[in-house]
Homo-oligomer: A and B are copies of this chain.
Amino acid sequence: MKDTAEMYIPTLEDMLAAHERIKPHIHRTPVLTSSYFNDLTGAELFFKCENFQKAGAFKVRGASNAVFGLSEVDAAKGVCTHSSGNHALSLSYAAGRRGIPCNVVMPRTAPEAKKAAVRGYGGTITECEPSTSSREAVFAEVQAKTGGDFVHPYNDPRVIAGQGTCSRELLEQTDGLDAVIAPIGGGGMISGTCLTLSNLAPEVKIYAAEPEQADDAYRSFKAGHIIADDAPETVADGLKVPLKDLTWHFVSNHVTDIFTASEQEIIDAMKLTWQRMKIVMEPSCAVPLATILKNRDVFAGERVGVVITGGNVDLDKLPWMKS
């Protein structure tokens, strides 16, 4: 993305164009229901299963939109990003599909399994130290050397337009919803949800769910301006990053409320979902269910879409295992 003086806010047309562009490269993931969880919550829940998505997470939507939207000239130089998580996998996957280079700066301490997955999709990893200063320095170097297009994990209109395709499918797959709830970290999924629902179904309430131990979005939302956390620690490792200007725009304008859950509540909801729905999902995905269980009065009687954001977990280090 080129730097521009003014922030570009993606539109409904951007989201619709993104959907056409990425359809050949993504799954239209299924929506699952569970009578057990309906009984437990008093709500009617519709789980949008992005854990079954290509590369294992919704992030492939935004990454594919960025990659396949590049001109031939720009694409030849490839793409680059910094991420230790699903965005790294997703951008590598999308670049691999288009056959262009993808350079990812990852901390040397990132899990070997994630690094192997990036390489498996054809991405090139440059390692940095696990600090912001090292990451920024190494990334600047990689970008200067390759000239690749920087695809930010979430603060990028192309990425947000791509993530918005998820709730468009959810609307099509359900027969009317009262609310949608998704986890919030940097705010890419929530911003895409806001983009789509505020245009296509403005009556649907949008809730964000966040770990208590990384509640910068919650505090920002209550304060009315961005408050960034300093290195939060949570089992929901996809949700540690802060809001940025573009995602703050959507959150501050369209989100109805933000709820938080404790570490134990997240782990309990995660394990219960694995047990009852037989799906493998990341800790981050359990935060919405954990907050629904805590706020029954808000959700009871409502038809609620719940975004299961990804399924890339380390099966040797599940959070309920004794270490």
Contact = CB atoms under 8 A, between A and B. Distances in A.
B280 A315 contact: no
Copies in the complex: 2
Interface residues on A, range: 10 to 19
Nearest to A52: B278
Contact of A315 (B51, B56, B318): B318
Contacts of A311: 278
Interface in A195-238: none
Contact of A51 (B51, B278, B318): B278
Contact of A320 (B52, B56, B281, B316): B316
A321 B271 CA distance: 16
B279 A278 contact: yes
A271 B321 CA distance: 16
Contacts of A51: 278
A47 to B, nearest CB: 12
A321 B321 CA distance: 9
A107 to B, nearest CB: 22
Interface string A235-261: 000000000000000000000000000
A30 interface: yes
A138 to B, nearest CB: 29
A275 interface: yes
B320 A275 contact: no
A56 B311 CA distance: 20
Interface string A260-298: 000000000001001101111100000000000000000
B320 A278 contact: no
Interface in A11-38: 30, 32
A274 B318 CA distance: 13
Most chain B CB neighbours (cut-off 10 Å) among A30, A32, A275, A320? A275
Nearest to A50: B278
A316 B279 CA distance: 16
A119 to B, nearest CB: 15
Contacts of A30: 30
A7 B321 CA distance: 49
Q: 10 tightest A-B contacts by CB?
A: A278-B311, A278-B280, A51-B278, A274-B280, A52-B278, A274-B315, A271-B315, A280-B280, A278-B279, A275-B315
Given A32-B52, A278-B311, 19 more contacts: A30-B30, A51-B278, A52-B277, A52-B278, A56-B278, A271-B315, A274-B280, A274-B315, A275-B280, A278-B280, A278-B281, A279-B279, A279-B280, A280-B280, A315-B320, A316-B320, A316-B321, A318-B318, A321-B321
Interface of A: 30, 32, 51-52, 56, 271, 274-275, 277-281, 311, 315-316, 318, 320-321
